[in-house]
Amino acid sequence: MAVSVDEAVSTSPVQDHTPPARRFGLRGRSVLEVALLAVLAVVMLFPVLWMIETSIKENRDVYAIPAKFFGFTVTLDHFKDVFVASGGGRSTLSVAFLNSVVVAGVSTALATVLGVPAAWAYSRFAVKAKKDQLFFILSTRFMPPVVVVIPIFLMYRQVGLIDSKLGLILIYAAFNVPFTIWMMKGFVDEVPAEYEDAAMLDGYTRLQAFRRFTLPLLLPGIAATAVFALIFSWNEFVFAIFLTSSDSVRTAPPAIAGLIGGTTVDWGLVAASSVVFALPVLVFAYLVRKHLVAGVTLGAVRR
């Protein structure tokens, strides 16, 4: 199964060999299909465009009825408010963004460090009940967060991890390790074991062979896997809202959710912070577009 976006581009469409007699009707149909596709694309992208538009509108225009699609005054004030507090200085939102960077970054690093060697071991060695272990590992990833958070909460209060970045990092890492193992195992499988065997015949140990020959080949896969783990941790909301509360720990999703429910809702600010929040994810997703299918199925579906 070819899987990546790029490959999808290179494969030629399936009806090249239609008999000439049916060409005309086909052209009409083709126009219809393009039109349908265009409509669907507009529907799918409109909310995103509306978000971007709202983020550069003045508050008056945000509430305008009928809605203003064009011809509003463009302002970048909302973006300024995302980073700068009204009295000057850093805004709580920008602190939350920074917390998100730390939590997502460290938890991803941890998941990678733990997951990649495990994936390699699962791929290379005969491990007892390997299939059962792998299935068990993946099923932990499917637990409902709202359920997991109850015992996690009790556990964290015993060890003092409530409302701490470390607590979030550990739980995110635990959710990302299964993903990392599954995704990376696929990448390791693609690197022939003979490379390592040959190296070992040359006198390297198994570990050295892995480090010197396999690991470099895995780097692109590791990068792609890490990006997906990063996206998961970056977007996560349930654990963040139940396990943290202070401004110095809280990550961006609960902070953005906190923008509504005061005395006024500044939708311009909500939109601007959403744009700022989503931008890195979109960039990263674009970078790993080749591995999207494997990524979104936790590495379960791949070629």
Q: Which of residues 63-122 bind other proteins (CB under 8 A)?
A: 63, 65-67, 87, 92, 114-115, 117-118, 120-122
Among 83, 153, 204, 213, binds other proteins (CB under 8 A): 153
Q: Which of residues 264-283 bind other proteins (CB under 8 A)?
A: 264-265, 267, 270-271, 274, 277-278, 281-282
36 touching other proteins, by CB under 8 A = yes
Among 96, 253, 269, 291, binds other proteins (CB under 8 A): 253
- Scanning 101-109, 176-184, 213-221 for contacts with other proteins by CB under 8 A, the matching segment is 176-184
Q: Least distance from C-beta 175 to other proteins, angstroms?
A: 8
Cβ–Cβ under 8 Å, residues 90 and 98: no
Return the axis-axis angle of helices 165-190 and 92-124, rounded to nearest 10°: 40
Q: Least distance from C-beta 82 to other proteins, angstroms?
A: 13
Q: Least distance from C-beta 158 to other proteins, angstroms?
A: 9
Q: Least distance from C-beta 83 to other proteins, angstroms?
A: 17
How many residues comprise the chain? 303
Q: How many CA atoms lie less than 13 Å away from 173 in the CB half-sphere? A: 20
Closest CB to other proteins among residues 153, 213: 153
Query: Any residues with CB less than 8 A from the CB of 277 and at least 6 apart, and which?
Result: 97, 252, 253, 256
Closest CB to other proteins among residues 85, 223: 85
Closest CB to other proteins among residues 213, 242: 242
Q: Which of residues 210-229 bind other proteins (CB under 8 A)?
A: none
Exposed, middle or buried by CB within 10 Å (0-12, 13-18, 19+), for 54? buried
Q: What angle do CA 34, 36, 42 make, to 5 degrees?
A: 100
Among 56, 104, 106, 181, binds other proteins (CB under 8 A): 181
Q: Least distance from C-beta 195 to other proteins, angstroms?
A: 9
In 3-state terms the chain splits into helix, strand, coil percentages (rounded to 5) of 70, 0, 25
Q: What angle do CA 86, 88, 94 make, to 5 degrees?
A: 80
Closest CB to other proteins among residues 73, 297: 297
235 touching other proteins, by CB under 8 A = yes
Give me the phi and psi of 57, to 5 degrees please: -100, 155
Q: Least distance from C-beta 213 to other proteins, angstroms?
A: 14
C-alpha 160/C-alpha 162 separation (Å) is 6
Q: Of the candidates 170, 191, 5, which has an alpha carbon nearest to the alpha carbon of residue 116?
A: 191
C-alpha 81/C-alpha 265 separation (Å) is 14
Element (H, E) at 74: none
Closest CB to other proteins among residues 33, 212: 33
Q: Least distance from C-beta 89 to other proteins, angstroms?
A: 12
Closest CB to other proteins among residues 130, 220: 130
Exposed, middle or buried by CB within 10 Å (0-12, 13-18, 19+), for 201? exposed
Q: Which of residues 127-146 bind other proteins (CB under 8 A)?
A: 127-135, 137-140, 142-146
Q: List, in sequence order, every residue forming a beta bridge with 84; answer none if it has no partner.
A: 90
